[in-house]
Amino acid sequence: MHSGVIARWRAFLPVTEATPALTLGEGDTPLVAAPRLAEAIGCAELWLKFEGMNPTGSFKDRGMVMAVAKAKENGARAIVCASTGNTSASAAAYAVAAGLRCHVVIPEGKVALGKLAQALIHGANVVRISGSFDDALKIVRKEGLTSALVNSVNPFRIEGQKTAAFEIIETLGRAPDILALPVGNAGNISAYWKGFVEHDERANSGRPMIYGAQAEGAAPFIHGAPIANPETVATAIRIGNPASWSAAQRARLESGGRIDAVSDVDILVAQARLASEAGVFCEPASAAGVASLLKIGKGKQFAGKIIVAVLTGHGLKDPQIAIDRSPPLPDAISPNDPRLVELLT
Ligand code: F0G
- What confidence tens digit (pLDDT) does each residue in 29-39 have? 999 999 999 99
Verify whether ligand 1 is closer than 6 Å to residue 56 (CB atom).
no
* Å from CA of 104 to ligand 1 middle: 15
Write down the domain spans for the chain. Answer: 5-58+156-325, 60-153
298, pLDDT greater than 90? no
* Å from CA of 234 to ligand 1 middle: 10
Confirm if 255 and 210 have CB atoms less than 8 A apart: yes
The pLDDT tens digits of the residues spanning 279-291 come to 999 999 999 999 9
pLDDT attached to residue 300: 77
Residue 299 banded pLDDT, cuts 50, 70, 90: confident
Select from 20, 8, 12, 5 the least CA-distant residue to 70.
20
Residue 1 banded pLDDT, cuts 50, 70, 90: low
Ligand 1 nearest atom to the CA of residue 89, by list position: 20
Q: In whole angstroms, what is the distance from residue 85 CA to residue 332 CA?
A: 34
Average pLDDT, the chain: 97
Cross-strand pairs, 212: 181, 259
292, pLDDT greater than 90? yes
Ligand 1 nearest atom to the CA of residue 85, by list position: 20
246, pLDDT greater than 80? yes
Q: In whole angstroms, what is the distance from residue 104 CA to residue 132 CA?
A: 13
Best residue among 86, 88, 90, 189 to mutate for probing ligand 1, ranked by most atoms within 8 Å of CB: 86
Verify whether ligand 1 is closer than 6 Å to residue 5 (CB atom).
no
- 119-128, 146-155, 230-239, 325-334: least confident range: 325-334
Verify whether ligand 1 is closer than 6 Å to residue 235 (CB atom).
no
C-alpha distances out from residue 121 to 88, 295, 308, Å: 12, 39, 33
Q: In whole angstroms, what is the distance from residue 15 CA to residue 29 CA?
A: 22
Listed in sequence order, the DSSP H helices in 58-132 are: 60-73, 86-98, 113-121
Per cent of the chain over pLDDT 90 is 97
Residue 297 banded pLDDT, cuts 50, 70, 90: confident
C-alpha distances out from residue 247 to 77, 222, 338, Å: 30, 15, 63
Verify whether ligand 1 is closer than 6 Å to residue 244 (CB atom).
no
Confirm if 100 and 71 have CB atoms less than 8 A apart: yes
The pLDDT tens digits of the residues spanning 54-78 come to 999 999 999 999 999 999 999 999 9
The pLDDT tens digits of the residues spanning 108-160 come to 999 999 999 999 999 999 999 999 999 999 999 998 899 999 999 999 999 99
Verify whether ligand 1 is closer than 6 Å to residue 86 (CB atom).
yes
Select from 200, 184, 198 the least CA-distant residue to 11.
198
* Same CATH fold assignment for domains 5-58+156-325 and 60-153: yes
Verify whether ligand 1 is closer than 6 Å to residue 63 (CB atom).
no
Verify whether ligand 1 is closer than 6 Å to residue 190 (CB atom).
no
Best residue among 53, 62, 84, 280 to mutate for probing ligand 1, ranked by most atoms within 8 Å of CB: 84
169, pLDDT greater than 80? yes
Q: In whole angstroms, what is the distance from residue 140 CA to residue 134 CA?
A: 10
DSSP sequence for 166-232: HHHHHHHSS--SEEEEE-SSSHHHHHHHHHHHHHHHHH----PEEEEEEEGGG-HHHHTS--SS---
3-state secondary structure (DSSP) of residue 176: coil
Best residue among 312, 316, 317, 321 to mutate for probing ligand 1, ranked by most atoms within 8 Å of CB: 312
Tell me the CATH number of domain 60-153, given options 2.40.50.250, 3.40.50.1100, 3.90.550.10, 3.30.470.10. 3.40.50.1100
Q: Are strands 45-50 and 31-33 parallel, antiparallel or unpaired?
A: antiparallel
3-state secondary structure (DSSP) of residue 246: helix
Tell me the CATH number of domain 5-58+156-325, given options 3.40.50.1100, 2.60.40.10, 3.30.565.10, 3.30.1490.20. 3.40.50.1100
Q: In whole angstroms, what is the distance from residue 149 CA to residue 144 CA?
A: 12
Atom 10 of ligand 1: nearest residue by CA position: 184
Average pLDDT on 249-265 reads 98
Verify whether ligand 1 is closer than 6 Å to residue 163 (CB atom).
no
